Structure 1
Amino acid sequence: MKKMTDATSSRAAPTEQGVLRFSIAMTFVLAVVGIGFGIASGAASIIFDGIYSLIDASMTAVALVVSMLITQTMAERRQARLAHRFTMGFWHLEPMVLGVNGVLLTGAALYALVTAVSSLLSGGRELDFGQAILYAAIVVVVAALMALKNRRANRTIRSSFVALDVKGWTMSAALTGALLAAFLFGWLIQGTALDWMSPYVDPAILALVCLVMLPLPIPTIRRALADILLITPPEMKARIDSIAAEIAARHGFTDHRAYVARVGRGRQIELFFIVPRGAPARPLEEWDAIRDEIGEAIGGESPDRWLTIAFTTDPEWAD
């Protein structure tokens, strides 16, 4: 009975592709519903929310394709047809997708902000608060549940794509909550002395939402640019240098060179060890044993680690 339970649990374990597929489907549904409610109620903020969701869902779909390429090519390299053209793998596509996603979302928020300010200056717009409140309430509940579900799944998956998706659902829940509060305010002041404010509720909350959303993708864009430009992570370089120096001292090498980069989920590490000239010859099996020792010290052996180790007596080959 224990074995059957373990097997069932293993089959039910969430995967990156499974989480992203379900998230894409839910986002597309909410986006279509949002655009429909926005048009029906006359709320530009809801239309923007739907369009923003469509952009996010489209980029998540691209992220899913990239994730499938990475995992399929690394796990089934011999069978993957594209592996013959992309012999270095598909890791470089991951930061590209994340960067483009961040830029598109920032651009959409900036455009909506300009539209909101223009609407405020022209006297605002009327809208059906009843339909707007219904939409906002539905989205807050769905987005909060999706954020919690995907965050729990990512504790074991540890995917940057899923982490970004969780951030997106969290942002959606928080910002739609702000929309809900604003729509409730607009509904409550109708027929009161503050009724003159009603036309300004929609563009005002849209402008506020855009101001909040504009800086949010910036960390993702910065991380993506760092990966695309192969900027060496300082903590990663320091750790590899420490391991290489210890190995060099243990085996009598004169020096070492370390080249490291992070590309999406991939870690690219190249190590060159300078062997003293005239050192006694060693069988290839001994050099391979040293490589295994280095690999174990570095850790994290997986399809996402690209580790190259070379030995030479000429420092020019390492520089």
Structure 2
Amino acid sequence: MRSTRPSRFDPTTEQGVLSLSIAASFAMAAAAVAFGLLANSSLIIFDGIYGLIDVVMTWLSLLVVRLISLSTNVDALQSRLNQRFTMGFWHLEPIVLGVSGTLMIGAALYAAVNAVDALMSGGRHIALGPAIVFAVLSIIAESALAIFVRRANRRIGSEFVGLDAKNWMVAAAMSGAYLLAFGGGWLLRGTEWAWVVPYIDPAILLVVCAFVVLAPLGTVRRALSDILLITPVGLQAHVDEVARAVVAKHGFIEHRSYVAKVGRGDQIELFFVVPENDPPRALVEWDRLRDEIGEALGEESPDRWLTIMFTTDREWTI
């Protein structure tokens, strides 16, 4: 009988795309370190280190995706997970994204310091032949992977996969810089500008580091916003609009809302203050009202944490 278990490298799923990216990243990082040592190029070695960091952080991203998926499926494993993580795993997503972006920035800053030191020390002599070969192979592989991951994410819509596509685009841009630098150095050999050649490697490395520092800043900012539970303005406005309509329709006194976005998860808590003389209702009626509010807020999703409470005491809403 043929297995129906999805492939580990299924390109139609978030986990499959990330698994493919991990394998490709590891292969490219290993090649970069090997070619960097062969060519004596700090630029190529940095590309390898950047790739290895990306491998580790993509693997962590994949682990978090699997945990979120498991925690939102009802099975025996979910029960064991929920005993330790009753609030789910959404909070791990912005942490991993933030750490990933911060590590990329830190590695780039460290490489930039080394590049400045090399420039002040007379540059760095490299073997241009292996360096050019590596640059050409890298551009082809990384551009193809960037296009593939980006197209896959149009259907998947994952922040993790989106960041991974951005990383591949950054890597391809870096390889393009390598090719221009090393090709220029090859043309300058034996000319009156040959003295420039040793400065090419650290100079381009410094430019690449500046680009790498800027690229993940948006992701780090969004991750920090999620970690700090900063309320999304649009989501808050939508929740308040729905709540005000419920208050007006059912004659409640007021409402209080608490909203946060944590990774892919929306966390919403709604409190309605009911008049003390409000006629008694059966529990099933309150449940129907909760269903009505939930539908008004939007389509139900495993990534939405929704709490709706009714009380006559304002202190319970604070």
Please classify the TM superposition score into its range, dividing by the shorter chain length.
over 0.9
Q: Contact between 1:70 and 1:89, CA under 8 Å: does it hold in 2?
A: yes
Q: Which amino acid aligns with 2:218?
A: P
Secondary structure in 2 matching 1:258: strand
CA distance in 2 between partners of 1:220 and 1:110 (Å): 17
Report the CA distance shift for 1:77/1:250 in structure 2 as closer, same or farther (over 3 A). Answer: farther
Q: Which amino acid aligns with 2:159?
A: S
Aligned residues: 310
After the TM superposition, which residues 62-141 of structure 1 pair with which residues of structure 2 at under 5 Å, given as runs?
62-76=60-74, 78-80=76-78, 81-141=80-140
- Pair 1:171-2:170 in alignment: yes
CA distance in 2 between partners of 1:13 and 1:46 (Å): 29
CA distance in 2 between partners of 1:272 and 1:289 (Å): 16
User: How far 1:288 sits from its partner (Å)?
Assistant: 1.0
Out of 17, 20, 24, the residue aligned to residue 19 of structure 1 is 17
Q: Which amino acid aligns with 1:56?
A: D
Residue equivalent to 1:299? 298
CA distance in 2 between partners of 1:293 and 1:232 (Å): 24
CA distance in 2 between partners of 1:35 and 1:218 (Å): 26
Q: Contact between 1:70 and 1:91, CA under 8 Å: does it hold in 2?
A: yes
Q: Contact between 2:22 and 2:55, CA under 8 Å: does it hold in 1?
A: yes
Secondary structure in 1 matching 2:72: helix
TM-score by length of 1: 0.95
Q: Contact between 1:257 and 1:273, CA under 8 Å: does it hold in 2?
A: yes
User: How far 1:109 sits from its partner (Å)?
Assistant: 0.2
User: How far 1:179 sits from its partner (Å)?
Assistant: 1.2
User: How far 1:79 sits from its partner (Å)?
Assistant: 2.9
Secondary structure in 1 matching 2:214: coil
Residue equivalent to 2:289? 290
Residue equivalent to 1:4? none
Query: RMSD of the TM alignment (CA)?
Result: 1.4
Secondary structure in 2 matching 1:308: strand
Q: Which amino acid aligns with 1:46?
A: I
User: How far 1:282 sits from its partner (Å)?
Assistant: 1.2
Q: Which amino acid aligns with 1:86?
A: F
Residue equivalent to 2:149? 150
CA distance in 2 between partners of 1:117 and 1:244 (Å): 57
After the TM superposition, which residues 157-306 of structure 1 pair with which residues of structure 2 at under 5 Å, given as runs?
157-306=156-305
User: How far 1:76 sits from its partner (Å)?
Assistant: 3.0
Q: Contact between 1:77 and 1:83, CA under 8 Å: does it hold in 2?
A: no
CA distance in 2 between partners of 1:270 and 1:68 (Å): 26
CA distance in 1 between partners of 2:172 and 2:311 (Å): 57
CA offset digits 1:50-85 (Å, max 9, x no partner): 000100110110110011001011113543222211
Q: Contact between 2:91 and 2:262, CA under 8 Å: does it hold in 1?
A: yes
Q: Contact between 1:37 and 1:135, CA under 8 Å: does it hold in 2?
A: yes
CA offset digits 1:176-232 (Å, max 9, x no partner): 111111111011111111111110110110011111211222211111111111111
User: How far 1:247 sits from its partner (Å)?
Assistant: 1.3
Secondary structure in 2 matching 1:270: strand
Show structure 1 runs of 4+ deviating over 4 A.
Answer: none
Q: Which amino acid aligns with 1:37?
A: F
Residue equivalent to 2:46? 48
Q: Which amino acid aligns with 1:161?
A: F
Secondary structure in 1 matching 2:271: strand
Secondary structure in 1 matching 2:231: coil
TM-score by length of 2: 0.95
Point out the more displaced range, 48-57 or 291-300: 291-300
Secondary structure in 1 matching 2:237: helix
Secondary structure in 2 matching 1:79: helix
